[in-house]
C-alpha cells in the first residue's frame, strides 16, 4: 500500500507559512501523542528554523501514558519546551501561555530592558491534518472561531485570532509533506486518520493495526474481539477473517476492516502509541 497525499492548498499553505514566520515570536508545533515522530512534518524544521518552539503532544488521553512521559522527556532533551495536552477535553491547555512565556523569557526580558511596553505573544500554530489544531485554537480563543472537523484538511486558509491579552495566534492549515520516504509512517498516519480514507486500502490498514496490537497490546485485542491468547498470534489475514466472522460480518471484510480502524481510532482498544520510544534509536538510524 503506497500512500501519498499533497493537495494544492497544502503547497500554498507551506509558502504562506514560510512568508509569515518572521511575524511571530514562537511556534506551537502540534503533534499527535500517538505518533510523536511520524506526525512531525520534516519540512517544518526548514521553515521554522531558529524560532523558539513549543511542542504540544495533543490527544494525550488516546496515547500510552508511559510513552507520553518518555517522549516528553525526549523532546525536552532536544531543547524544546514540551507539554502533553488534550485539546478536546481542555486538559493542559491553560499551561500553554505560561510555557510560551518561559520559552521567550530572554526575549521578553530584552524588550523590557529597552523600555518597550508589554505586548501579546505572537504565535503560529502548525501541524499536520487532523492533529487537533482547530480544536486547540478554539480552546485558546475561548469561542468557536476556527473551523473544526473530524477529517483532515478542514482549515484551508490562515487567520489571526486573539486569546485574551497575552496571546495572538496565527492559524495555518494542516500540511503534509509531498512524499513519504518511509511507508511505515504513511500507515501510521493513515491509521490515526491524518489521511483521507478514500485514498487507502482499508483491509491492509486494518491488518496493520491488528498486527500492532497483537505485538504490543495482545490482551486488549483478545478482550475486545473475544479471542483466545493463541488466536491473537494468528497471521493477520486470518485474524481479520476471524474477527469478521465473530462480529457477524461473515465474508464482508471491507466492513470488518472499517469497523476495526474506527475502533482503534476512537480508543475502544485502549490508549496506544504507534511510535515506540524504545525503538527510537532504530528509527533514527534508519533515517
Strands (DSSP E) found in 9-144: 26-32, 53-58, 81-84, 121-126
The answer to whether the annotation marks 25 as part of a ligand binding site is no
- With vertex at residue 105, the alpha carbon angle to CA 164 and CA 38, rounded to the nearest 5 degrees, is 80
The answer to whether the annotation marks 113 as part of a ligand binding site is no
Instruction: Output the nine-digit C-alpha cell for 136.
Output: 486547540
Considering just the CA atoms, what is the radius of gyration of the chain in Å? 20
Q: In what order do the strands lie in the sheet with 26-32?
A: 81-84, 53-58, 26-32, 121-126, 167-171, 159-163
The answer to whether the annotation marks 157 as part of a ligand binding site is no
The answer to whether the annotation marks 130 as part of a ligand binding site is yes
Q: Between the CA atoms of 181, 182, 183 and 184, what dihedral angle is there, to the nearest 10 degrees?
A: -160
The answer to whether the annotation marks 132 as part of a ligand binding site is yes
Tell me, rounded to whole angstroms, the distance of Cα 10 from its chain centroid. Answer: 17
The answer to whether the annotation marks 135 as part of a ligand binding site is yes
Residue 284, judged by CB atoms within 10 A of its CB (0-12, 13-18, 19+), counts as: exposed
The answer to whether the annotation marks 60 as part of a ligand binding site is yes
The answer to whether the annotation marks 66 as part of a ligand binding site is no
Alpha-carbon distances of 59 from 12, 136, 194, rounded to whole Å: 27, 11, 13
Matching residue, cell 518518555: 70
The answer to whether the annotation marks 59 as part of a ligand binding site is yes
In the annotated binding site for GTP, the residues are 58-61, 130-135, 174
In the annotated binding site, the residues are 58-61, 130-135, 174
Amino acid at each position: 500500500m503506497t500512500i501519498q497525499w499533497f493537495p494544492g492548498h497544502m503547497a500554498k499553505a507551506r509558502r504562506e507559512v514560510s512568508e509569515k514566520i518572521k511575524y511571530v515570536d514562537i511556534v506551537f508545533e502540534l503533534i499527535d501523542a500517538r505518533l510523536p515522530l511520524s506526525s512531525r512534518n520534516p519540512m517544518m524544521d526548514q521553515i521554522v528554523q531558529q524560532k523558539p518552539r513549543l511542542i504540544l503532544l495533543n490527544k494525550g488521553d488516546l496515547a500510552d501514558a508511559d510513552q507520553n512521559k518518555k517522549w516528553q522527556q525526549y523532546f525536552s532533551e532536544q531543547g524544546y519546551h514540551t507539554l502533553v495536552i488534550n485539546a478536546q477535553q481542555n486538559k493542559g491547555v491553560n499551561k500553554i501561555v505560561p510555557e510560551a512565556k518561559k520559552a521567550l523569557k530572554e526575549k521578553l526580558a530584552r524588550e523590557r530592558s529597552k523600555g518597550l511596553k508589554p505586548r501579546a505573544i505572537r504565535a503560529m500554530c502548525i501541524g499536520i491534518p487532523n492533529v487537533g489544531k482547530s480544536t486547540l485554537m478554539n480552546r485558546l480563543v475561548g469561542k468557536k472561531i476556527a473551523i473544526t472537523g473530524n477529517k483532515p484538511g478542514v482549515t484551508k486558509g490562515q487567520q489571526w485570532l486573539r486569546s485574551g491579552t497575552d496571546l495572538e495566534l496565527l492559524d495555518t492549515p494542516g500540511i503534509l509533506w509531498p512524499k513519504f520516504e518511509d511507508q511505515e509512517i504513511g500507515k501510521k498516519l493513515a491509521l490515526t486518520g491524518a489521511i483521507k480514507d478514500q485514498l487507502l486500502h482499508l483491509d491492509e490498514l486494518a491488518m496493520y493495526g491488528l498486527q500492532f496490537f497483537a505485538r504490543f497490546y495482545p490482551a486488549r485485542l483478545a478482550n475486545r474481539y473475544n479471542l483466545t491468547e493463541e488466536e491473537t498470534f494468528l497471521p493477520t489475514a486470518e485474524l481479520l477473517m476471524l474477527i469478521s466472522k465473530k462480529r457477524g460480518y461473515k465474508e464482508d471484510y471491507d466492513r470488518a476492516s472499517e469497523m476495526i480502524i474506527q475502533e482503534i481510532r476512537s480508543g475502544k482498544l485502549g490508549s496506544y502509541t504507534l511510535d515506540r520510544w524504545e525503538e527510537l534509536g532504530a528509527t533514527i538510524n534508519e533515517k
